């Protein structure tokens, strides 16, 4: 049943359902069946926005819209309930059509799919099933029983009503509803969309005050969540100034590209240039410039004057991969934002976390091969063998700088495929990543490739080793001569096969 429309294109008005038993039952059903439930959530599309009081997404791409009413038997018998035309939903009427049209328009523009299944339901707090059965037929025609959840409806009955309606209109869509809320629209490495987890949604929705810490597993969507948080804050308040810190110019460029992809796919109007994504030295140099002091090149250095002087950098600063940055820079960020908001993405146990991402999104666990022999000779052999069946851009080799330079020379001599020395201090435009990449552990590259080759284990921290092992989509080769504590730790986490 479709109800008549009302004008929804207005500034967001907050509305929160009361704590009614019927709503709590619906939440339990949603949780037990891995449905997403959204309360008082905004759907953005271009320059418009729609606030939906209650919406549920199931695992089959069905959308359920709910209205909550406190109608009693007396209200219904007095026929005070009516359909509406060009009105917003009020206490004595129902209205769904305009919401449906808005949602379908958004999803159709993004996914080119017209068969989005949207089901309307009514939650009535003060009405039982028996009281409904005693109502006049005209009221029942307006309010069909299969679209009503009563205060005595059990959880199984609620689920049956939801699934029965959705099964009447089988879906041909695939993951279309993941594009509904841009603020929760995660993107994979190949730009396919999926919904944020509840942990991520909790962070994105949060009211960031003072200094807060996000603990997150590698590849748990932390970087994308920072971008979504920035987008959401700018949609709510376009004048808000936001800076995202990423360790290197290369990692900043990768984040900027992802931000552009999200906004383009999300079909919203936002000035992405107003979200600054910069390396630490750029922030420090802005402060130094204000103080008329010499600027830094690439090395991070915090002189005492910077910790003594205030500097209004942004309303909100979010620092990705904070553990890869010097402690004095983190202290500097805390100083800068002593009266403003700061988010640190860090797994440092000294920093108490307010948010946690406990799930990673690796397509499959890394196949790690531990090879105890001559690391350099094995590296040449493995690279040569991989290049017979795979393009060079699918291989990433990490070592000390001395080994890297030797590899670069020898690969040019023994193997005709071109290798490049990765320099994450350079912007993306200045280096071609479509080659075999040779890197040091100090370089920071978040692009995942099929094969990772690790040498000079002793020159890296266990955190760096674990980070680069997880970069492999297919196989990580850990090459070493002698057993050590780092190898033991890596084997406990990653060992899948030994040679």
More confident residue, 333 or 95: 333
Report the range of poorest mean pLDDT among 55-59, 188-192, 212-216, 264-268.
Answer: 188-192
Q: Which domain holds residue 260?
A: 183-357
The pLDDT of residue 333 is 97
pLDDT per position as a tens digit, 216-263: 987 889 999 999 999 999 999 999 999 999 998 888 988 999 999 999
DSSP 141-204: HHS-GGGEE-TT--HHHHHHHHHHHHHHS----SSGGGGS-GGGEEE-TT--EEEPPHHHHHHH
Q: Does a structural domain hold residue 134?
A: yes
pLDDT, averaged across the chain: 86
Q: What is the pLDDT of residue 471?
A: 83
8 in any annotated domain: no
Please compute the mean of the pLDDT values over residues 428-443 and round it to a whole number.
81
Q: State which of 357, 391, 424 marks the end of a domain.
A: 357
Q: Is residue 9 part of a domain?
A: no
Per DSSP, the three-state class of 401 is helix
| 242 and 187 part of one domain | yes
**CA atoms in the 13 A half-sphere facing the CB of 171:** 19
Same domain, residue pair 300 and 404: no
Question: Residue 498 above 50 pLDDT?
Answer: no
Position 16 scores a pLDDT of: 60
Do both 382 and 420 map to the same domain?
yes
Same domain, 68 and 101: yes
One domain for residues 374 and 257: no
Q: Regarding predicted confidence, which is higher, 286 or 297?
A: 286
Let me know whether 353 and 414 are in one domain.
no
> Which residues pair with residue 344 across a beta bridge?
213, 319
**What is the per-residue pLDDT for 7?**
28
- The residue ranking higher by pLDDT, 169 or 306, is 306
Please report whether residue 15 resides in a domain. no
Residue 166 shares a structural domain with residue 34: yes
Which of 146, 178, 210 is the C-terminal boundary of a domain? 178
| C-alpha separations of 371 from 382, 481, 483, 498 in Å | 11, 8, 11, 7
Distance (Å, whole) CA 155 – CA 110: 34
Co-location of 157 and 187 in the same domain: no
* Residue 151 to residue 127: CA distance in whole angstroms: 6
Q: Into how many domains does the chain fold?
A: 3
Rounded to two decimals, the pTM is: 0.84
Residue at 2 is within a domain: no
Regarding whether 332 and 449 lie in a shared domain, the answer is no
Does residue 316 contact residue 208 with C-beta atoms inside 8 Å? yes
Indicate the SS3 state at residue 89. Answer: coil
Q: For residue 327, give both structure tokens.
A: 């402690």
Q: What's the pLDDT score for residue 117?
A: 86
Looking at residue 13, its pLDDT comes to 45
Which element (helix H / strand E) includes 491?
A: helix 485-494
Same domain, 147 and 115: yes
Cα angle for residues 251, 253, 255 (degrees, 5° grid): 70
Beta strands in 205-353 (DSSP E): 211-216, 242-245, 275-278, 316-319, 341-345
Is residue 184 within 8 A of residue 228, CB to CB? The reply is: yes
In a domain, 336, yes or no: yes
**85 confidence band (pLDDT: 50, 70, 90):** very low
8: confidence class by pLDDT, cuts 50, 70, 90: very low
What span, in angstroms and rounded, lies between the C-alpha atoms of 359 and 364?
Answer: 13
For the ranges 47-56, 75-84, 360-369, which has the lowest average pLDDT? 75-84
Q: Which of 78-92, 331-345, 423-437, 458-472 has the least mean pLDDT?
A: 78-92
Residue ending a domain, among 303, 323, 357, is 357
Which uninterrupted H or E stretch holds 92?
A: none
Q: Which residue has the tokens 């037990």?
A: 32
Same-domain pairing of 325 and 422: no
Torsion of CA 251, 255, 260, 261, to 10 degrees: 110
Measuring CA to CA, how many Å separate 8 from each of 12, 50, 89, 370, 431?
Answer: 9, 6, 9, 60, 48
Q: What is the mean pLDDT of residues 417-436?
A: 76
Q: Burial, 246: exposed, middle or buried (Cβ in 10 Å; 0-12, 13-18, 19+)?
A: buried
The 10s digit of each residue's pLDDT in 335-372 is 999 999 999 999 887 778 899 999 887 766 678 899 99
pLDDT, average across residues 17-25: 82
Q: 32 pLDDT band (50/70/90 cuts)?
A: very high
Whether residue 460 is contained in a domain is answered as yes
Span 392-403, pLDDT tens digits: 889 999 999 999
| DSSP code of residue 268 | B
* Residue 45 sits in the same domain as residue 173: yes
The residue whose two tokens read 């089901």 is: 119
Q: Distance between CA atoms of 129 and 394, rounded to whole angstroms?
A: 62
Structural domain contains residue 417: yes
Q: 334: domain CATH number?
A: 3.40.50.300
Contact 248, 279 (CB under 8 A): yes
- Cα–Cα dist 192/199, whole Å: 20
Report the range of poorest mean pLDDT among 40-49, 245-254, 358-367, 462-471. 358-367
């Amino acid at each position: 049943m479709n109800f008549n429309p009302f004008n929804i294109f207005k500034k967001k008005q907050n509305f929160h359902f009361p704590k009614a038993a019927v709503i709590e039952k619906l939440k339990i059903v949603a949780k037990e069946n891995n449905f997403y439930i959204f309360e008082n959530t905004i759907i953005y599309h271009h320059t418009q926005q729609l606030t939906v009081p209650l919406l549920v997404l199931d695992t089959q791409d069905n959308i359920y819209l709910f209205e909550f009413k406190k109608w009693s038997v007396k209200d219904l018998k007095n026929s005070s309930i009516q359909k509406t035309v060009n009105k917003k939903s009020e206490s004595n009427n129902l209205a769904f059509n305009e919401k449906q049209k808005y949602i379908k328009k958004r999803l159709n523009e993004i996914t080119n799919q017209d068969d989005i299944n949207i089901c309307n339901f009514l939650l009535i707090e003060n009405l039982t099933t028996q009281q409904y059965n005693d109502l006049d037929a005209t009221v029942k025609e307006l309010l069909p029983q299969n679209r009503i959840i009563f205060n005595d409806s059990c959880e199984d009955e609620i689920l049956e009503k939801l699934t029965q309606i959705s099964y009447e209109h089988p879906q041909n869509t695939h993951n279309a509803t993941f594009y509904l809320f841009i603020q929760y629209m995660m993107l994979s490495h190949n730009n396919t969309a999926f919904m944020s987890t509840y942990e991520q949604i909790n962070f994105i929705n949060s009211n960031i005050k003072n200094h807060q810490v996000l603990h997150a597993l590698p590849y748990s969507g932390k970087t994308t969540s920072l971008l979504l948080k920035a987008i959401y804050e700018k949609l709510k308040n376009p004048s808000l100034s936001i800076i995202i810190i990423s360790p290197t110019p290369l990692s900043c460029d990768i984040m900027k590209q992802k931000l552009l992809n999200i906004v383009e796919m999300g079909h919203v109007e936002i000035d992405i240039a107003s979200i600054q994504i910069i390396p630490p030295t750029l922030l420090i140099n802005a402060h130094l410039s204000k103080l008329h002091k010499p600027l830094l090149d690439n090395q991070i250095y915090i002189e005492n004057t910077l910790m003594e002087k205030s500097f209004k950098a942004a309303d909100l600063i979010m620092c990705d991969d904070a553990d890869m940055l010097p402690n004095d820079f983190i202290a500097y960020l805390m100083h800068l934002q002593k009266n403003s908001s700061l988010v640190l993405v860090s797994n440092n146990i000294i920093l108490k976390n307010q948010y946690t991402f406990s799930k990673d999104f690796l397509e499959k666990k890394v196949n790690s091969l531990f090879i105890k022999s001559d690391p350099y000779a094995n590296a040449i052999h493995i690279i040569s063998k991989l290049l017979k069946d795979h393009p060079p851009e699918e291989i990433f080799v990490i070592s000390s700088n001395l080994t890297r330079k030797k590899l670069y020379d020898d690969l040019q001599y023994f193997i005709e495929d071109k290798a490049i020395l990765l320099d994450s201090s350079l912007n993306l435009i200045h280096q071609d990543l479509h080659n075999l990449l040779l890197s040091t552990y100090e370089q920071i590259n978040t692009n995942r490739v099929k094969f990772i080759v690790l040498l000079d284990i002793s020159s890296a921290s266990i955190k760096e080793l674990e980070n680069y092992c997880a970069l492999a989509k297919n196989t990580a080769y850990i090459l070493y001569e002698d057993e050590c504590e780092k190898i033991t730790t890596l084997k406990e986490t990653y060992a899948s096969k030994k040679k």
